[in-house]
């Protein structure tokens, strides 16, 4: 099968990569999204080697549960060992022996086929198109914030960053909080949010400093963390969504002095993400900017890396 494989140094297109062989469900990938994490992996994040990609929609080609065959699905990306204490408590996402699709010891979605345990798969309703479904994984990551923090409707909320994930986080948080401001750097991306009725800003003014009850850092850069510390009010909450490949020294003194609660936030629940897309309370319709076949991965990644690009998808 065709696949994009990262060998630790460079990403390569392989036309005869072995098709997954396992007792898991076999999924034919229809569409897969390139995300910030993929770009971080190419910079050395997770020291991952193998087929890249974790945001996908596909069709089940083979499974033990015959009812799944032919169904359009998306898939939760973490697979626990099922044996350890963490898994037994139902916390598979944090299993120390877990594999993660396209991120940790498990071939990913930038290929014609992938395999995942059947219980990781979610059948998606016809009302969600493939172009919407490819966003379910990152929308779920945005919903994780709601699982972690009990949001108050009158909170002043700031999102730092205007990229792919930040755009989804804004849409999700807006369903709970009315006062949401996005701090970005790219006018074209902020214009999209303005159209959705979101307040946007480039740069932090004096009045913004230490004004926000909740700040979500989703820039993927060290400066985003420093900006978040400037925006959050004393005793406020900062959610960290970026996995930053560079390990620069971060000054955590402001977090101590202002007694800030720092919350790391990763993958989230698929069910509310699917429901939100099916009901239309969250729109992802104008986020995809281009589609490429796997063979043209170089162009696809070059475009995804550009700072003003929103979403690039691959069609294996």
Q: Which residues bind Zn ion (CB under 5 A)?
A: 35, 37, 80-81, 84, 87, 95
Alpha-carbon distance of 227 to 217, in angstroms, equals 8
Query: Which residue in this structure is represented by tokens 């071939």?
Result: 107
Terminal-residue alpha carbon distance, the chain: 10
Chain-centroid distance of CA 165 in Å reads 6
Bridge-partner residues for 291, per DSSP?
313
CA nearest neighbour of 163 among 189, 132, 196: 189
Nearer CB in complex with Zn ion: 11/84? 84
**Minimal distance, residue 226 CB to Zn ion, in Å:** 24
CB of 58 to Zn ion, least distance (A): 16
Nearer to Zn ion, 81 or 281 (CB): 81
Angle at 27 between CA 69 and CA 59, to 5 degrees: 55
Residue 189 sits at the vertex; the CA angle it makes with 282 and 132, to the nearest 5 degrees, is 35
**Would you say 81 or 252 has its CB closer to Zn ion?**
81
Measured from the CB atom, the residue of 50 and 236 that comes closer to Zn ion is 50
Cβ-based nearer residue to Zn ion, 87 or 287: 87
CB of 120 to Zn ion, least distance (A): 14
| Residue 271 Cβ vs Zn ion, minimum distance, rounded to whole Å | 18
Residues 177 and 155: beta-carbon distance below 8 Å? yes
Query: Closest separation between CB of residue 316 and Zn ion, Å?
Result: 17
């Amino acid at each position: 099968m065709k696949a994009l494989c990262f060998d630790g140094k460079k990403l390569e297109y392989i036309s005869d990569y072995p098709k997954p062989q396992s007792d898991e469900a076999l999924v034919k990938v229809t569409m897969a999204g390139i995300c910030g994490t993929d770009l971080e992996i190419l910079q050395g994040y997770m020291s991952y080697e193998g087929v890249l990609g974790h945001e996908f929609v596909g069709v089940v080609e083979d499974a033990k549960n015959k009812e799944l065959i032919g169904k359009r699905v998306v898939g939760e990306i973490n697979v626990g060992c099922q044996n350890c204490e963490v898994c037994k408590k139902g916390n598979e996402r944090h299993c120390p022996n877990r594999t993660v699709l396209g991120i940790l010891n498990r071939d990913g979605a930038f290929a014609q086929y992938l395999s995942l345990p059947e219980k990781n798969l979610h059948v998606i309703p016809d009302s969600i198109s493939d172009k919407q479904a490819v966003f379910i994984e990152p929308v779920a990551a945005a919903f994780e914030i709601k699982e972690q923090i009990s949001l108050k409707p009158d909170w002043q909320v700031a999102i730092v960053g205007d990229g792919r994930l930040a755009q989804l986080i804004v849409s999700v948080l807006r369903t709970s909080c009315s006062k949401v401001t996005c701090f970005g750097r790219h006018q074209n991306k902020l214009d999209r949010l303005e159209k959705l009725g979101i307040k946007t800003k480039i740069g932090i003014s004096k009045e913004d400093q230490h004004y926000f009850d909740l700040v979500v850092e989703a820039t993927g850069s060290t400066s985003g963390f420093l900006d978040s510390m400037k925006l959050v009010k004393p005793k406020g909450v900062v959610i960290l969504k970026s996995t930053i490949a560079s390990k620069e020294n971060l000054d955590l003194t402001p977090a101590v002095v202002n007694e800030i609660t720092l919350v790391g936030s990763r993958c989230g629940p698929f069910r509310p993400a699917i429901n939100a897309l099916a009901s239309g309370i969250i729109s992802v319709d104008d986020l995809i900017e281009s589609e490429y076949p796997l063979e043209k991965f170089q162009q696809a990644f070059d475009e995804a890396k550009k700072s003003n690009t929103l979403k690039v998808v691959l069609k294996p």
